[in-house]
Amino acid sequence: MQKMKAIIVLLVILGCKERQTPEVDSQKEIQEFEYQKLPKKLEVSAEAATILNEWPEFMAFNSSVDVLYKSTNNEDLSLAIDDLLEKEKELSASTYPEPFDSFQIKSRQRVFRTLLLKVKANVLNKSGTTETTIELLEAYNIIRQQFNSILSSQLDTKLILDEEE
């Protein structure tokens, strides 16, 4: 309870500081979305593509990411982010294909969701969205890279973990 009071007092003190208003030019510069800087989408292996093509929730999610790549301003970005949030929620609730039903994929997807919410917050706050969108797409590429990695791995996790069937 005392921690809660201390946090509230700290927030009140920090909230009372005078804030400098940024110049109009620099604020407008921050708000612009620079879609040209977005990283390219990483290709998945043919074996991974075969499995992913049979996973309808992932295909819908992937299509929404493609829409994100087509965004050229903050309004387009906002719509794409809202759609991606829905598709990511459906993806996380879906049944994962056997090789991809692992914590390696699910944890990377959680990072993606966190960055997705960060981009949405930046859009709503009208602050810089380019850097966070780049981070988001890098996280998406890491998920795709993990699909490749899982399928190309020669290690049998059951032997490593000494699990019996």
Q: What is the pLDDT of residue 26?
A: 47
Distance CA 27, CA 38 (A): 21
CA atoms within 13 A on the CB side of 139: 22
pLDDT digits (tens, 9 = 90+) for 98-143: 889 989 999 999 999 999 999 999 999 988 888 999 999 999 999 9
Phi, then psi, of 33 in degrees rounded to 5: -95, 120
Residues of the chain with pLDDT under 50: 24-30
Listed residue (1, 21, 70, 40) closest to 138, CA to CA? 40
Distance of CA 123 to the CA centre of its chain: 14
Strand segments (E) across the chain: none
Amino acid, single-letter form, for residue 117: L
